[in-house]
Amino acid sequence: MSKTIAILVARLIFGAVFVMATSFKFLDMQSTANFISAAGFPFPLFLAWIAAFFELALALALLTGVFFSEASLLAGIYVVFLAFAFHGPGRWGASQAEFGFFIDHFTFLAGLLFAAVHGPGDALVVKAGHARRAA
């Protein structure tokens, strides 16, 4: 029972992080685009929309358990990309906090890799269109 609770709490945390990130983007897409542009990427508004929908898909997969391991791996790759693109070594000189933000992404990656290997658990996982409950 405690293993099931821990897995569900972890899934909730993973999902909540991406739900929050998605909601910030949808609530102020232009700010997200400005942040992307400041990092030097072309087509910032387009990339902001892509990021918002990608994060929404990750949140749904992590919360429901659908394609959970695949979503965890994709989220891990995405998190490492974000670490280097927005908080990488080139930004550490301007602010030591950037180094902390950079490192935080790797602790998140560790959890996502663990989740990818161990899966969503048996409780509240959507499979074949039906939610399953632990026996």
Strand partners, 125: 132
Q: What is the DSSP letter of 90?
A: G
The pLDDT tens digits of the residues spanning 49-78 come to 999 999 999 999 999 999 999 999 999 999
With cut-offs at 50, 70 and 90, classify the pLDDT of residue 110.
very high
| 91-105 per-position pLDDT tens digit | 999 899 999 999 999
| DSSP one-letter code for 1 | -
Question: Does the structure show a pLDDT above 50 at 135?
Answer: no
State how far the Cα of 7 lies from the Cα of 106, in Å rounded to an integer: 20
Helices (H), 28-121: 29-38, 44-64, 68-87, 96-118
Question: What is the residue extent of each domain of the chain?
Answer: 2-132
Q: Cα separation of 28 and 38, whole Å?
A: 16
pLDDT 10s digits, 17-40: 999 999 999 999 999 999 999 999
> Considering the chain, what percentage of its residues have pLDDT values greater than 90?
87
Distance from C-alpha of 98 to C-alpha of 116, rounded to nearest angstrom: 27
Overall pTM > 0.85: yes
Burial of 115 (0-12, 13-18, 19+ CB in 10 A): buried
For residue 119, count other CB atoms closer than 10 A to its CB.
13
